[in-house]
Amino acid sequence: MLRLLQQELRSRRNGIIGWAIGLSLLPAIYVAMYPQFQDSLAGMQDILDMEIYKAMGMSFGTFEDWLASTVINLVPLILAIYAVLDATGTLAGEEDNGKLELILALPIKRWQIVTVKAIAHAIALFLILLIVDIVTTIVFLGIESQVETSLTAWDVFWSLLYLWPIVMAFGMISLFLGTFAPSRRVAALIATVVVIVSYFGNNLSSQISTLESIKPLFLYNYLHATATLWVDGPQVNDVLVSLGVAMAVFLLAVVFFQRRDITVGAWPWQRGKIPADAVRTA
């Protein structure tokens, strides 16, 4: 199994490096440019009170607001794209392109295959976040003296690692969809809808009172992308919910992968039955 895990990680090496470098640019730029904008941002509050920005959970009054609305808000959304692509690719994608058949022909239990792939995916997400985190923290240290903030480098550092549970949850949802949907394309489409609905649904339900009751259904509800994150600290219960969702859908992925007919490309309920009019051998 270790060799398989090594291969899974090796196959993700370029993706991890590429995504880490690319994603690092977002917080690095947002953090680096804040000192130039901090004065003018204070005068933009009327614009930022517009519904569209509230729907995106954005507020830029202080550096903490800025960091939360840009980095904490957007990094998991963008990293969720990688989570969807990687997690649907590792099972559904390999089923579509035929690689999975090679592994399934080996004396390996199916739950072991799903577990190794889930672990590799989790490590990949963590490594990407870690690199983004380190880059962002270094940039913050560079501008710290120019910014009015009570945040320390450690606050910036842990607040990005805090994003791992929610992207893990999206990743495991995508992994599960790969064992459930007939193809990678369908799994990725559904997973993308889940991510987008979670993001906008959470923000809109904060603005619309009639949607308040369904707010807990959105995963983004358990991510505090506001300045209170550094005041109250990460809410353990919310982290546990994200991790709990991740674990629950991972277990569903194990169950459904165990039952799946590989290479058939069908929904679970499309499992064949012998038609009554089939001409059978006597």
Partner 1 sequence: MTDYIIETKGLSVYYGRHRGILDVDLCVETGEVFGFLGPNGAGKTTTQRVLLDIIRPTAGEAHMLGLDCQKEGVVARDRVGYLPGELSLYDNMKARQFFKMYHSLQKNNSDPKYWQTLADRIDLDTSRKIREYSRGNKQKVGVVMAFMNKPELLILDEPTTGLDPLVQQTVMELVREANQAGATVFFSSHILPEVHAVCDRVGIIREGKLVATERVEDMTRQHFKRVRFNFANMPPDDAFSKDGVIELARDEDGITLEVHHHLDVVMETAASYGIIDIETIPVSLEEIFLAYYGRGNGGSNA
Q: Which residues of the chain form contacts with partner 1 (CB under 8 A)?
A: 3-4, 6-7, 10-11, 97-99, 101-109, 259, 261-264, 266, 270-275, 278-281
Rounded least distance, CB 227 to partner 1, Å: 43
Residue number with CB closer to partner 1 (98 or 233): 98
Residue 115, φ and ψ in degrees, nearest 5: -65, -45
Residue number with CB closer to partner 1 (146 or 263): 263
Residues contacting 115, CB < 8 A, separation 6+: 254
Residue number with CB closer to partner 1 (154 or 269): 269
Residue number with CB closer to partner 1 (119 or 130): 119
Rounded least distance, CB 268 to partner 1, Å: 12
Counting every residue written for the chain, the total comes to 282
Rounded least distance, CB 169 to partner 1, Å: 28
Rounded least distance, CB 95 to partner 1, Å: 10
In angstroms, what CA-CA distances link 104 with 90, 108, 249?
A: 13, 7, 22
Q: Minimal CA–CA distance to 30: which of 197, 156, 192?
A: 156
Rounded least distance, CB 55 to partner 1, Å: 41
How many other CB atoms are there within 10 angstroms of residue 230's CB atom? 21
Both tokens of 112, joined, read 């072991």
SS (H, E, C) 28-92: HHHHHHHHHHHHHHHCCHHHHCCHHHHHCCCCCCCHHHHHHHHHHHHHHHHHHHHHHHHHHHHHH
For 263, left (φ over 0), alpha (ψ -120 to 50), or beta?
Answer: left
How many other CB atoms are there within 10 angstroms of residue 62's CB atom? 18
Residue number with CB closer to partner 1 (22 or 268): 268
Rounded least distance, CB 275 to partner 1, Å: 6
Residue number with CB closer to partner 1 (94 or 133): 94
Residue number with CB closer to partner 1 (43 or 275): 275
Rounded least distance, CB 131 to partner 1, Å: 21
